[in-house]
Structure 1
Amino acid sequence: MKNIGRALRLPLLLAGISLLAVPYCLAAEGHSLEDAWRIIQEKKFVDLTHAFAPGIPHWKGFPDEKLETLYWYEPGVGKLGSGFYAQSFTHVGQWGTHVDPPAHFAKGLRTVDRIDVKEMILPLVVLDVHEAVEKNPDYTITMEDVRHWEQQHGPIPKGAFVAMRTDWSKRWPDGEAMQNRDANGIAHYPGWSMDVLKYLYEQRHITASGHETTDTDPGVATTKDDYSLETYILRSDHYQIELLAHLDAVPQAGALVVVSFPKPKDGSGFPARVFAILP
């Protein structure tokens, strides 16, 4: 392993691949944060976040965003004065690409401000089921999908962020297309499954998960106000990210994800900025 060049060793470590393929002793070879930064800045970054604005797709029970310009550069625009640009945003915490902390569904568990920053830079695992979703919009991910990933890439790393790629985000920002309701008002969009979530969180011990749809649960379930899958994640004291974008632009394994969001005290949720660093 000493013959592996620094330029190769450090990206492997940064991507979490050391857990699978590289002896952990390499981590003790004296790499500095400056070394890490030099490697990272040369990599490709992919934004996994939708820009939010009034009128974007959102959960059926939430009001729309209100956006107001308070100050503008020249006179005549804005309520309070001129000389600079300042806006007022009024929206629910679960707006656009956003974080759901455990307290969103479980009283007494962690709010947004109590999520440790060490949970925000993680190995990224992408479970790609978009071809199945093209054939069946009600598709829910299966253990066969997970086993297929692990046959190709090895065990899902402990502490990973696991994203389900469905390409549903390509329907954004069309709210009706995202909901995909039939003549009876039943929504048809893909979702997770309980057996997969239990495997990921209880056996692989991942840190968090995310998806491109407005909900963890598939549309046929949320139409009946069944949110049992989201309830499972949050009551397990894990956070999730909803309404991810551009998962088609990242590899299924080997990337890092940075999941960032503001720190509202006792926050029930908040828009997030999520991006991947490619290997």
Structure 2
Amino acid sequence: MSLLATLADRLATGAVEVVDLTAPLSAETPVIQLPPQFAQTAPFQLEELSRYDDRGPAWYWNNFRTGEHTGTHFDAPNHWVTGRDREDVASVPAARLIAPAAVLDFSAQVADDPDFLLEVHHVREWESVHGPLPAGGWLLYRTGWDARSGSQEQFLNADDAGPHTPGVSPACARWLAEEAPVIGLGVETVGTDAGAAHSFDPPFPCHAALMGSGKYGLTQLQNLALLPPTGAVLIAAPLPIVTGSGAPSRVLALVERR
């Protein structure tokens, strides 16, 4: 059998499982809240055009309105000022949308500290057990935050000081951008940066470093608990919006089940 025929057979028999890492997209999907002086992204909205009625007797369809960075979505390099002259989401090569993934699980640490930050030494410790991060692949940062996705309030977890969500330290963000072999970072939170990243030096280091180096982000992922630390293949499928800075995405993982 050819390689692709073998893959198709294993998908059919369940030897390779497809795990959906995508949050359902609806009006209840949590969206980021910026300080009031800045423009805000729109929550997801459906506008019914017809539903088997006099507006269209045999068909149901809708218009929809949403922000590029709503729900499970892809960050293209031009999303941040550091990557303003780099790829828009429609220009990302299709071959880069299918890549191996490493899953780093820090959900226990985040359960104790919602402001937990991933450091370079955490990644190095993971590599000492599981091997190096995959060249040309993704680092998926599991925090257990997807369990909060049913509630805007719990998902953003904000108080008077601002949001409290896990993320990556400035030093680790620079390392991921400049030294790590991965093409991007995937997280379960509303963005790749920590909730407190507005106060970091520099602010929002994941966005600044990753976008500036031509790397990508995936956010609001779910079901990372179903993936092994290594061996999964990630398929990220953003809408190819011309000049777009990102797009809602269906994100799938292929996992071999022995």
What is the TM-score normalised by the length of structure 2? 0.88
Gaps of at least 5 residues in structure 1 are: 1-29
* Structure 1 counterpart SS, 2:53: coil
**Per-residue deviation, 1:207:** 1.2
Residue 39 of structure 1 aligns with an amino acid whose one-letter code is R
Match of 2:158 among 172, 178, 181: 181
**1:187–1:223 Cα contact (<8 Å) kept:** no
Unpaired runs of 5+ residues, structure 2, are: 34-39
Q: Which has the larger strand fraction?
A: 2
Structure-1 separation of matches of 2:199 and 2:43: 20
| Equivalent pair of 2:238/2:246 in contact (CA under 8 Å) | no
**TM-score computed with the length of structure 1 as normaliser:** 0.82
The answer to whether the aligner puts 1:44 opposite 2:17 as a matched pair is yes
Say whether residues 1:72 and 2:47 are aligned partners.
no
Q: Show the 5 A alignment for 1:184-263.
A: 184-222=160-198, 226-263=203-240
Q: Kindly indicate whether residue 102 of structure 2 is the aligned counterpart of residue 125 of structure 1.
A: yes
How much identity, in percent, do the aligned residues show? Answer: 29
Partner in structure 2 of residue 23 of structure 1: none
Per-residue Cα deviation, 1:208-260 (whole angstroms, up to 9, x for no partner): 11101112221122478932321211111111111111111111111111111
Change (3 A) 1:38 1:200: farther
Does the 8 Å CA contact 1:167/1:212 hold for their aligned counterparts? yes
Amino acid at match of 2:78: A
Q: What is the CA RMSD across the aligned residues, in angstroms?
A: 1.9
Quote the residue 2:36 is aligned against.
none
Look up the match of 2:37: none
Per-residue deviation, 1:64: 2.2
Match of 1:32? 3
**In structure 2, C-alpha distance between the alignment counterparts of 1:243 and 1:132, rounded to whole Å:** 19
Residue 278 of structure 1 aligns to a residue whose secondary structure is strand
Q: Which has the larger radius of gyration?
A: 1
Residue 97, structure 1, aligned to residue 72, structure 2: yes
What is the correspondence of 1:147-186 to structure 2 with a 5 Å cutoff? 147-182=124-159, 184-186=160-162
Give 1:40 deviation, angstroms: 4.2
- Report if the CA contact (8 A) 1:71-1:84 is conserved: yes
Number of positions where the alignment pairs a residue of Structure 1 with one of Structure 2 = 245
Residue 141 in 1 paired to residue 114 in 2? Answer: no
| Kept in 1: contact 2:192–2:218 (CA 8 A) | no
